[in-house]
Amino acid sequence: MKLAGAKILLECLKLEGVDTVFAYPGGTVINIFDELYSCPEIKNILPRHEQAAVHAADGYARASGKVGVAIATSGPGATNTVTGIATAYMDSIPLVVITGQVPTALIGNDAFQEVDIIGITRPCTKHNFLVKNVKDLPAIVKKAFYIARTGRPGPVLIDLPKDVQVATTEFKYPDSIELRGYKPTIEGHPRQIAKASNLLLSAKKPVIYVGGGVVLANAADALFRLSTTLNAPVTTTLMGLGAFPEDNPLSLGLLGMHGTYYANMAVMNCDLLVAVGARFDDRVTGKVAAFAPQAKIIHIDVDPTSIRKNVRVDLPIVGDVSDVLSKLTDVLGDFPEAVDNFRNNVKPWLGEIEAWKAKHPLTYKHAASVIKPQMVIQKLKELSKDDAIIATDVGQHQMWTAQFFRFTRPRTLLTSGGLGTMGFGLPAAMGAQVAFPNRQVIAICGDGGFQMNLQEMATLVQNKLPVKICVMNNNFLGMVRQWQELFFDKRYSNTVMDLPIDFVMLAEAFGAKGFQATKPEEVEDVIKKGFKTSGPVIMEFKIAREEKVLPMVPAGASLSEMVLAS
Amino acid sequence: MRHTISVIVENEFGVLSRVAGLFSGRGFNIDSLSVAPTNEESISRMTIVTRGDEQILEQITKHLNKLIDVIKVIDFADEDSIEREMALIKVSAEDSDRAEILRIVDIFRAKIIDVTPKSYTIEATGSPSKIDAILELLRPLGLKELVRTGPVAIGRGAKGWKG
């Protein structure tokens, strides 16, 4: 039977296992929405902005591991998706974003709501497609999903002109597709893995440095097995949080600009650094020339371009990190005596690390009269469920969450690490709640970031998504203010947001509930009330206005030059 | 270090801009780029001349390989290869210089492809250094216009790029 392009698109989505999309209507996608109207197998969560649609699909993907799908119309709808796409691209999140396009005959004519979204998104997608013929559509959708979720995952955009949605053809979903230019390396090279095991066993001061790749590859178990087999300490990047349980004594927590003293000291003094699914971002390395100066570096990553991009690497292993970590641990299993020796040899190193932990633990100054944000994060951890999913915006509250929440499970922290997108938290939490209707989902935002996508309160209420939103309100763009305090002589240029917004009333305006805490003793009560209330809730915490995120390595300085909490 | 890289790509719209965007977005140099379809209709071939140290060249070839539409990347620094470039050169040719220009054209086995009473247009083909050499000799006589294709390259021996 012949089907129209719009119908074929939905048939393809169903065959890819898609049951939820985040789609915003418009002139060039009206045919797709017409098909959605009579497609009970695919549910749409109607957001209030296309940027939020993509962030929600992104949060859905990060929390569930599935490919997130967003749909937007041409022109402004398409350009609104760009920040969401770039966010997903920087953090390697698998998305398929479908945009409407003006009819093929009008492309290039500056038609109404026309924009060259293929050109615009070329540098921030893993790949993108303009569909010129409805006959090509099934293969393109199949390729898009395959490219999005395999290798180093990432967003793929399909631009679908209106006439292609209307045109009909015989529908057949291809069983397989041929992409002769795309063959990601999944299995690590056995000889490299054997060399890695030798290097590991000869180390006395090892550190495993873990990035988001471990979360994306579902390799947390494989990592745990390697680390505990060797008794080797683990530090994670922001994107790697949750890949290794922070309540394990081998955990060093976060490293880098706002990392722990002991994680940064361990990296600076180790003799072997095993980087797994991480890319040596400048926020991690500080001054590259001074990074891990005594260490041999093993770098395991699915993306060969990540290797030797920023730092020298002694032993690269390209492959799926789960596959490589498992095989590496298996190889070590063949040398039980050497592993025993290693565990003995590493004891003095673990002792050194314990001493660093005791000397400068992660801490903050408590206060009786004002709410310390770190305390709020600790209370949230204490009162939330073990499998709660946390989404953040970007800035101080994000770093306090990274430092003080102590994540223990993968895919429980959703945060924009690479692009650093303010406004990400609320829609990402929304997407996660859609993926897991029965889990506790908490958005931790600053007052600045929250205001960048607060229109999504309407989506939460309309779809009965019980996201609990914590607004850490200091009436500042806090992170920029912190830099202004430290490096610009306290000249708080345009970081003061002094309009006292009533967040409780704001919640009520959307038909949600709001609570406010202004004193430390109210924090616990507000969180308990918020968690107990059904439906979406805003919990506003009036926090110490000029609290800083510490420790801090100034931009461009070496990791050993930390400003510590006094 | 100068490198000549052949990039075998899908013959589809947008591929050139993906490759060019990769170079500009990451701050890599392009000295020259030429592109045309191959004997297989679905495949085009680009020849890119670029510069950089070993680490940069490694990143360039890795990033090119990462593009979905790129089928194969050949860095000719690693292989025995032949490069050829074509130049179209318009020179002033006053009476007194006409014989000298013809001699130069003859020595370089180039061709005159257009003549006016005041000018010659010359077609020269050869390695980039040969083109540089003929230009050096013609320049004092008055170069009016120069078009170079940038080199194309192919590996020596019986094997094609598919091996």
Annotate A92-144 with DSSP letters as a single string: T--EEEEEEE--GGGTTS--TT---HHHHHGGGSSEEEE---GGGHHHHHHHH
* Neighbouring residues of A37: CB distance < 8 A, sequence distance ≥ 6: none
Q: In this structure, which topology does domain A373-542 adopt according to CATH?
A: Rossmann fold (3.40.50)
Q: Is there a shared CATH topology between the A2-170 domain and the A190-359 domain?
A: yes
Transcribe A49-84 into DSSP letters.
Answer: SHHHHHHHHHHHHHHHSSPEEEEE-STHHHHHTHHH
ipTM of the complex: 0.92
Nearest of B16, B25, B102, B101 to residue B60 by alpha carbon: B25
Q: pLDDT-based confidence at B80, cuts 50/70/90?
A: confident
Angle at A370 between CA A368 and CA A371, to 5 degrees: 105
Write down the domain spans for chain A: 2-170, 190-359, 373-542
For the cut 80, the answer to whether the pLDDT of residue B79 exceeds it is no
Distance CA B151, CA B34 (A): 7
Active-site residue, from A41, A43, A112, A488: A112
Catalytic site residue A50?
yes
- Quick one: angle between helices A396-404 and A478-487, nearest 10? 100
Give the CATH H-level superfamily of domain B82-152: ACT-like. Chain A, domain 2 (3.30.70.1150)
Residue of B nearest to A127 (CA): B68
Distance CA A131, CA A99 (A): 11
Beta carbon pairs, A and B, within 8 Å: 36
Instruction: Please list every residue in chain B whose beta carbon sits closer than 8 Å to the beta carbon of residue A182.
Output: 68
B66: phi then psi, degrees, rounded to nearest 5: -75, -25
Instruction: Name the pairing type of β-strands A513-517 and A537-542.
Output: parallel
Q: Does B21 lie at the interface with A, CB-CB under 8 angstroms?
A: yes
Write down the domain spans for chain B: 2-79, 82-152
* Neighbouring residues of A62: CB distance < 8 A, sequence distance ≥ 6: A91, A93, A411, A414, A428, A431, A432
Neighbours of A22 (CB within 10 A): 31
Residues 56-75, chain B: which have Cβ within 8 Å of A?
Answer: 58-59, 62-63, 65-71
**Chain centroid offset of residue A563 CA:** 27
SS (H, E, C) A224-251: HHHHHHHCCCEEECCCCCCCCCCCCCCE
- State the best of B23, B28, B62 to mutate against chain A, taking most chain A CBs within 10 Å: B62
Residue located via tokens 């890819």: A16
Tokens of A559: 């990791």
- The reply to whether residue B18 touches residue A122, judged by beta carbons under 8 angstroms, is yes
**Tens digits of residue pLDDT in B7-38:** 999 999 899 999 999 999 999 999 999 999 99
How close, in Å, is residue B63 to chain A by CA atoms? 6
For the cut 90, the answer to whether the pLDDT of residue B77 exceeds it is no
**Tens digits of residue pLDDT in A108-141:** 999 999 999 999 999 999 999 999 999 999 999 9
Distance CA A219, CA A209 (A): 14
Tokens of A143: 């390729």
- The CA R_g of chain A, rounded to the nearest whole Å, is 24
Instruction: Please list every residue in chain B whose beta carbon sits closer than 8 Å to the beta carbon of residue A303.
Output: 66
- State the best of B66, B67, B72 to mutate against chain A, taking most chain A CBs within 10 Å: B66
Hey, which bits of A162-205 come out as E strands?
168-170
CATH code given to domain A190-359: 3.40.50.1220
Q: Does B12 lie at the interface with A, CB-CB under 8 angstroms?
A: no
In residues, how long is chain A?
A: 566
Catalytic site residue A357?
no
Neighbours of A216 (CB within 10 A): 27
- The reply to whether residue B65 touches residue A118, judged by beta carbons under 8 angstroms, is no
Distance CA A119, CA B41 (A): 25
Give pLDDT < 50 ranges for chain A.
none
- The reply to whether residue A308 touches residue B59, judged by beta carbons under 8 angstroms, is yes
Residue of B nearest to A313 (CA): B55
Q: What is the pLDDT of residue A12?
A: 98
DSSP B80: -
Q: What is the pLDDT of residue A1?
A: 86
Hey, which bits of B23-65 come out as E strands?
32-37, 43-51
**Tens digits of residue pLDDT in B83-141:** 999 999 999 999 999 999 999 999 999 999 999 999 999 999 999 999 999 999 999 99
User: Are A80 and A112 a contacting pair, CB within 8 Å?
Assistant: no
**Chain centroid offset of residue A557 CA:** 25
A332-335: Cβ within 8 A, 24+ apart: A332/A197, A332/A200, A332/A201, A332/A226, A332/A229, A332/A230, A333/A229, A335/A197, A335/A201
Q: What is the pLDDT of residue B1?
A: 87
Distance CA A78, CA A130 (A): 13
Nearest of A425, A423, A428, A458 to residue A444 by alpha carbon: A425
DSSP A304: G
Q: Which candidate from B55, B62, B69 shows the least CB-CB separation from A181?
A: B69
CATH code given to domain A2-170: 3.40.50.970
DSSP B79: S
Catalytic site residue A440?
no
A420: phi then psi, degrees, rounded to nearest 5: 65, 60
Distance CA A327, CA A322 (A): 9
Q: What is the pLDDT of residue B163?
A: 81
Q: In this structure, which topology does domain B2-79 adopt according to CATH?
A: Alpha-Beta Plaits (3.30.70)
Identity at A350, one-letter amino acid code: L
Task: Give the CA-trace dihedral at A10, A12, A15, A17, to 10 degrees.
Answer: -60
Task: Give the CA-trace dihedral at A330, A333, A334, A335, to 10 degrees.
Answer: 140
